[in-house]
Chain A
């Protein structure tokens, strides 16, 4: 026993640096990616044909005021120094001031982000709940009518412009049938009637115990979230199907059948248990895709999220807002990637 213990200790000691190395490697990669991301954004900001000085001091400013502002913004310094100042500001959550709202961009982003998060999260939840079973069934009943239906559903999802189908959906379900709430997150007379805690109205209304607002919020979110869910369903069901087909060919599936397990256990416990591992990455990717897809969806549904914020800023040449929004969405993407890596390790015993 004693020898066993010392052996164990020795091995752990030797493997510790490796483990540290793995983590520091990840941190390094992520840091490089983030700095690169910020650099690209910075460059975009610099080549923008908008004079940031003019937009502050106005067209009629004197030469002296212009130069003062020019220096204040640090534009006289070398480019790489400007980049570090840019990094410094962002590290402190300072994205500059928005021209449109005349408020710090950071504050604006904190205000609008929950709306996007709410939309994308509801969409992903529906997409996973429907997409995974659809993919599993399509793989198990390969070549059957349900497989073909799943394929067509996915193909349509891949081919439909979200801004168009959103309009058509509004036309039919809001304009003609009147089943759902129109654009926006709530009917106009409900807006700002409950305290904002999380910024997500579905949660806030429940926290406030206001079922009426909750129902109203549901009637507004159902179409945009449903559309996003359809896109995530299309992607998730295809990927699930292909992972399932791969797993169903494995030997351990035969083992499970030899044991006399019912087919449902073979599929949902054994095969899906293995599919879970790569599926985590797919779901994270699709979630990121929905955050992105929200740019156009929000425009259609007047959803006051980060997508609307960026597009509005774009059309009014509000550079700080555009760059701030881009950086935040990019950072969320990177974080999602790290998160999916961690989940992967959690689900796959071999990765530990």
Chain B
């Protein structure tokens, strides 16, 4: 490592190295900026709370087979609709006598799967469209932005419903439908960023050095769009979870017997008046996870976008 080289004479701590006012290298400067952002983020209790919950969610998803007390698919009709605590079911059992806690634990995998797929695909699609529109300008811009506006004009859930009905029910199709409805705002953001960067002096300098359009976009414009996209993605995640759960609830997402949380609520709906826990538990899980994303998104926005944080 180059840490000792940076300051060989004195023994300095990592902390001092990271918080120095006079960084010796580009990497140190960059790491220092990250460290300061992290310090600002860490002091935001709510955001840290959100981050902790999400880390816990990832761990639960990873170690589901170890953590789950029972097989999430194992039915026990004799012990169906047991109340929480009865028959050894901590969160109760559902209409087929399956352990709700185990199903929730396995369900976290589905949630994570949907969230990460959407978080990867929608912003990337938006980034492509937005930077192309912003950088190329002219009729490309007009056409792409018109298309974006058309998609924005649709109510998201209704469009997703229509897509799923066209593509057929299932998790992958639900993800695809959500992506198809989620990309336009990212395209808008990426375009706005590109427009501000496009005429910057350093872009002109790079072009004079002979960089082609593709290189300018991929190497110099994309990296600068990332941070505003990341904030937006985090803030959108909660909404995405809610739409995905909504699709599951309507029977258009994950299919039975998969332990998707939205579908579990739909399952418990019939018994809501007599067996409240069947629908309540998965609903709480959805609520907690989307709350965590909202808290994290708020915190990230404060750190990465100080101008808006005061509002």
Contacts and interface: CB of A to CB of B under 8 A. Distances in A.
A–B: direct contact at CB < 8 Å: yes
A48 B166 contact: yes
Contacts of A242: 311
A44 B162 contact: yes
Interface size class of B (residues with CB under 8 A): 35 or more
Contact of B238 (A48, A159, A293, A300): A159
B83 to A, nearest CB: 14
Interface in B226-274: 238-239, 242, 245-246, 249-252, 262, 265, 268-269, 272-273
B155 A288 contact: yes
A44 B166 contact: yes
Given A36-B147, A44-B166, A175 B273 contact: yes
A161 B265 contact: yes
Interface in A159-198: 159-165, 167-168, 170-171, 175
A217 interface: no
A317 B162 CA distance: 11
Contacts of B290: 158-161
A241 interface: yes
A39 B146 CA distance: 13
B54 to A, nearest CB: 13
B286 A161 contact: yes
B111 interface: no
A204 interface: no
B311 to A, nearest CB: 4
B291 A159 contact: yes
Interface string A232-247: 0000000001100110
B294 A245 contact: no
A32 B242 CA distance: 31
Contacts of A161: 242, 245-246, 249, 262, 265, 283, 286-287, 290
A156 B279 contact: no
B238 A158 contact: yes
B291 A45 contact: no
A295 interface: yes
Contact of A167 (B245, B283, B311): B283
A163 B163 contact: no
Contact of B163 (A39, A44, A295): A44
A74 B253 CA distance: 33
A167 B279 contact: yes
Given A159-B238, A163-B265, A164-B287, A171 B276 contact: yes
A310 interface: yes
Contacts of B149: 29, 33, 36
A33 B158 contact: no
A288 B158 CA distance: 12
Interface stretch (A6-14, A64-72, A81-89, A328-336): A328-336
Interface string B81-124: 00000000000000000000000000000000000000000000
A167 B155 contact: no
Contacts of B163: 44
A36 B242 contact: no
Contacts of A315: 250-251
Nearest to B165: A314
B151 A314 contact: no
A40 B150 contact: yes
A107 B211 CA distance: 59
Contacts of B268: 167
A170 B262 CA distance: 18
Interface string A288-322: 11011101100110000000001100110101001
B170 to A, nearest CB: 12
A155 interface: yes
Given A36-B147, A159-B238, A161-B265, A296 B166 contact: no
B203 interface: no
B168 interface: yes
B153 A45 contact: no
B286 to A, nearest CB: 5
B159 interface: yes
A332 to B, nearest CB: 9
Nearest to B289: A159
Interface in B130-165: 146-147, 149-151, 153-159, 161-163, 165
Interface string A14-38: 0000000000000001001100110
Nearest to A172: B276
B161 A295 contact: yes
A288 B155 CA distance: 8
Contacts of A351: none
Nearest to B149: A33
B280 interface: yes
Contacts of A219: none
B22 interface: no
Contacts of B294: 155, 158-159
A47 interface: yes
Contacts of B269: 167, 300
A211 B24 CA distance: 79
Given A246-B311, A314-B165, A330 B246 contact: no
A315 B252 CA distance: 8
B154 A164 contact: no
B157 A163 contact: no
A164 B150 contact: no
Contact of A322 (B162, B280, B282): B162
Nearest to B291: A159
Q: Which of B156, B162, B242 has the most CB of A within 10 A?
A: B162
B166 A299 contact: no
Given A36-B146, A162-B242, A322-B162, 7 more contacts: A41-B162, A44-B163, A161-B287, A167-B269, A171-B273, A311-B161, A326-B159
18 contacts: A36-B149, A37-B153, A37-B154, A40-B159, A44-B165, A158-B239, A161-B262, A161-B290, A167-B279, A168-B279, A168-B280, A295-B158, A295-B246, A299-B249, A300-B269, A314-B250, A319-B165, A322-B161
What 8 A-B pairs have minimum CB-CB distances, sorted nearest first?
A164-B283, A36-B150, A292-B155, A159-B291, A242-B311, A159-B290, A175-B273, A44-B166
